[in-house]
Copies of this chain bind each other. A is one copy, B any other.
Amino acid sequence: MPSTLKDIAKHVKLSVSTVSNILSSSDSRYNKATQKRVLQAAEELDYHPNKAARSMQGLRTKVIGVLVPDLANSYFPDIIHGIEHEADKEGYQVLLCQTYYNESDEARKISLLRQHRVDGFILFPIPFSHRNNKIFEKLKKGKIPVVCVDSKIDHIKFDFVGTEDYKGAKLAVSRLVELKHKKILCLSFGDESEIRSERLRGYTDALKKKKLKFDKNLVLPGPWEADAPADFLISLFKKKKPPTAIFAMSDLLAVWAYTQLRAAGYQIPKDVSIIGFGDLHEGRCLDTPLTTVAQDREEMGRKAISLLLARIKKPNSRCKEALIETKLINRASCFGVH
């Protein structure tokens, strides 16, 4: 039983519409004294405008829905921070949900947010999912403003924010090549996402540029794919011409490799150099801090909001794509080979 405009109106003996007008637009033709009286009553009665009623006028809710896979991955909070901060500046509020990489959760959360009539979505779609894309088709057909981040939806065009995956990977691998590494392992994602293929392209092109040949046996998926990938990883380093460096497609993968190698008695970077991608906290607080490719994640969030607001204003404009720059962060995990 929260108080309503009617309650306030009764309290100050004015009409509901007067109270509404005063409370919702500060600029107004109303008597200063009246305004003060109303504001005060609102305060006293602990009035919270009912967004439900408001949005029923078909007005903007000024709320945007953000759907991320998993907050436990420290990649996301920074982006969310950027989103919230920028949204806030424009008077938008953010509602946050998680999918836990689960397709039916993804669908359910989108529906929930639609029920709340959010003005638009920022989605981090589950990468390379075989989900039923109908939900997204409907978003598209309903002209609901959507910005996808990181992954795109098959066959459906939305605004998009991503990372300069190709450039970043090339940067990283070029660095290893400069340090005279000849045999560089590529620790890859297990999926078939565009992120993966771009980073792989960066890896191979960096090798090519220095006339090193690409060996597909040096590309292996991370811990969540193979059966005993840790053993397999170590076995690669026990061969007689072992790799001397690892390019990992993510910091998490890099940290995993780091841990496994250390446990197996290898020293980083003396025996093996490692370079990651993402500049996550996990890599920074390693004993030998991780050299990595960083992207400005808050900027990603800001960019996503700016694309979204542009679309909210012009729902029919052409879809835009933005790639966030990368740069190399040199820390201790890479070492020259002689």
Contacts and interface: CB of A to CB of B under 8 A. Distances in A.
A46 interface: yes
Interface stretch (A26-34, A51-59, A200-208): A51-59
Given A72-B77, A285-B286, A56 B50 contact: yes
A90 interface: no
Interface in A71-85: 71-72, 74, 76-78, 80-81, 84
A48 B111 contact: yes
A195 to B, nearest CB: 22
A255 interface: yes
Contacts of A269: none
A51 B2 contact: no
Contact of A138 (B46, B72, B93, B282): B46
Interface stretch (A114-122, A160-168, A303-311): A114-122
Contacts of A53: 52, 56
Contacts of A76: 71
Contacts of A56: 50, 52-53, 56
A50 B115 CA distance: 5
A50 B117 contact: yes
Contact of A52 (B55, B74, B259, B287): B55
Interface in A1-32: 1-2
Interface stretch (A94-102, A172-180, A212-220, A230-238): A94-102
Nearest to A84: B98
A96 B96 contact: yes
A308 B54 CA distance: 27
Nearest to A57: B52
A142 interface: yes
A265 to B, nearest CB: 13
B72 A72 contact: no
Interface string A277-303: 000011001111000000000000000
A117 B51 contact: yes
A138 B47 CA distance: 10
A52 B111 CA distance: 14
Nearest to A65: B95
Nearest to A281: B282
Contacts of A114: 2, 48
A71 B80 CA distance: 9
A226 interface: no
A97 B84 CA distance: 9
A51 B50 CA distance: 12
Contact of A262 (B51, B54, B84, B287): B287
Interface of A: 1-2, 46, 48-56, 70-72, 74, 76-78, 80-81, 84, 93-98, 100, 111-112, 114-117, 138, 141-142, 255, 259, 262, 281-282, 285-288
21 contacts: A1-B142, A2-B114, A50-B115, A51-B116, A51-B117, A52-B52, A52-B53, A52-B54, A52-B56, A71-B76, A71-B80, A72-B74, A72-B77, A72-B81, A84-B98, A93-B112, A94-B97, A95-B97, A116-B116, A281-B282, A282-B285
Given A72-B281, A84-B98, A285-B286, 4 more contacts: A48-B111, A51-B115, A52-B52, A72-B77
